[in-house]
């Protein structure tokens, strides 16, 4: 029987693509450069690659937040300082907080079931904290634990163990919900926690349940209670 649920934040509860898109366009408009949709897509591909390297333990987060813009600017031959662009982007990103459609109502329903909830995220700490305040996530979650605070990134099991310690729950008493294979699935497995993949086009052929929307996710969570 589960007593609590740990959630990833971006792509699971929050609409990161929307936040990323708006923050990226605002950043480059600051320099008088309107980005095309193709250029935004290119950035996303580059960004995804660097976060995957982070999950694989090959680079640090400090490297990721700048290197993705170094590569992006170099590819487009835009003569801007990647460190300054990276800083501007994170500032804009911290102001862009949007629930995925149905997420807020889903969390409200779970809260009424007296289910304990918290967040484990690899996102940049000040960005996640500011977005959490903007959306008043403390209505639902006991805490938002960032990898910077934990000192390790998912899929390192220690970030999950720290979350369990804070909740005073055993790994058997918690379910973890995330959208990423390299950080979320591997992290849950490393920590010995049951995992649910949240993905609109998720393949259900794995040895874990898949929720394509919040209605399906709520049903899966209830089955663990």
Q: Which of 94-103, 115-124, 200-209 has the lowest mean pLDDT?
A: 200-209
Cα gap 162→159, rounded to integer Å: 5
206 pLDDT band, cuts 50/70/90, is confident
Are 107 and 213 contained in the same domain? Answer: yes
108 pLDDT band, cuts 50/70/90, is very high
Cα gap 93→127, rounded to integer Å: 7
Mean pLDDT of 66-78: 98
Mean pLDDT of 191-195: 97
Q: Is 8 a catalytic residue?
A: yes
Domain span holding position 21:
16-94
Tokens matching residue 187: 């992290």
Could you tell me the CATH number of the domain that includes residue 182? 3.40.50.1000
Peptide bond into 34 cis (omega under 30): no
Mean pLDDT of 114-142: 97
Q: Which of 8-17, 54-63, 67-76 has the lowest mean pLDDT?
A: 54-63
The predicted pLDDT at position 200 comes to 87
pLDDT over threshold 90, residue 115? yes
Point out the domain boundary residue: 45, 69, 94: 94
Q: 211 pairs with which residues across the strands?
A: 198
Cα 224–Cα 132–Cα 69 angle in degrees, nearest 5: 110
Are 76 and 114 contained in the same domain? Answer: no
The predicted pLDDT at position 225 comes to 85
Q: Which of 8, 10, 88, 156 is catalytic?
A: 8
207 pLDDT band, cuts 50/70/90, is confident
pLDDT over threshold 80, residue 135? yes
216 pLDDT band, cuts 50/70/90, is very high
Point out the domain boundary residue: 69, 94, 119: 94
Mean pLDDT score of the chain: 96
Are 160 and 88 contained in the same domain? Answer: no
Share of the chain above pLDDT 70, in %: 99
Are 88 and 103 contained in the same domain? Answer: no
Are 127 and 193 contained in the same domain? Answer: yes
Element holding 115 (H helix, E strand)? none
Tokens matching residue 90: 């994170």
116 pLDDT band, cuts 50/70/90, is very high
Point out the domain boundary residue: 63, 94, 125: 94
Tokens matching residue 56: 């694989």
Could you tell me the CATH number of the domain that includes residue 44? 1.10.150.240
Question: In total, how many domains does the chain have?
Answer: 2
Are 184 and 82 contained in the same domain? Answer: no
pLDDT over threshold 90, residue 24? yes
| pTM for this predicted structure | 0.94
Cα gap 217→59, rounded to integer Å: 33
Are 109 and 215 contained in the same domain? Answer: yes
The predicted pLDDT at position 106 comes to 98
Tokens matching residue 78: 């835009």
Are 40 and 123 contained in the same domain? Answer: no
pLDDT over threshold 90, residue 204? no
Are 21 and 108 contained in the same domain? Answer: no
Are 36 and 102 contained in the same domain? Answer: no
Are 109 and 75 contained in the same domain? Answer: no
Are 10 and 20 contained in the same domain? Answer: no
Cα gap 1→17, rounded to integer Å: 34
């Amino acid at each position: 029987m589960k007593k609590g649920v740990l959630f990833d934040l971006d792509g699971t509860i929050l609409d990161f693509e929307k936040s990323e898109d708006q923050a990226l366009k605002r950043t480059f408009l600051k320099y008088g450069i309107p980005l095309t949709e193709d250029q935004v897509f290119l950035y996303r591909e580059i960004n995804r690659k660097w976060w995957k390297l982070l999950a694989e333990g090959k680079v640090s987060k400090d490297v990721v937040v700048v290197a993705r813009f170094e590569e992006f600017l170099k590819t487009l031959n835009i003569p801007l300082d990647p460190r300054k662009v990276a800083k501007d982007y994170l500032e804009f990103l911290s102001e862009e907080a949007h629930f995925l459609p149905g997420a807020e109502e889903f969390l409200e329903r779970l809260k009424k079931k007296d289910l304990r909830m918290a967040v484990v995220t690899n996102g940049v700490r000040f960005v996640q904290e500011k977005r959490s305040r903007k959306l008043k996530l403390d209505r639902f979650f006991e805490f938002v634990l960032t990898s910077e605070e934990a000192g390790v990134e998912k899929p390192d099991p220690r970030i999950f163990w720290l979350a369990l310690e804070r909740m005073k729950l055993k790994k058997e008493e918690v379910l973890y919900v995330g959208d990423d294979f390299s950080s979320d699935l591997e992290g849950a497995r490393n920590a010995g926690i049951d995992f649910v993949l949240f993905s609109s086009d998720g393949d259900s052929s794995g040895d874990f349940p898949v929720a394509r929307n919040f209605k399906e996710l709520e049903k899966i969570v209830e089955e663990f209670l």
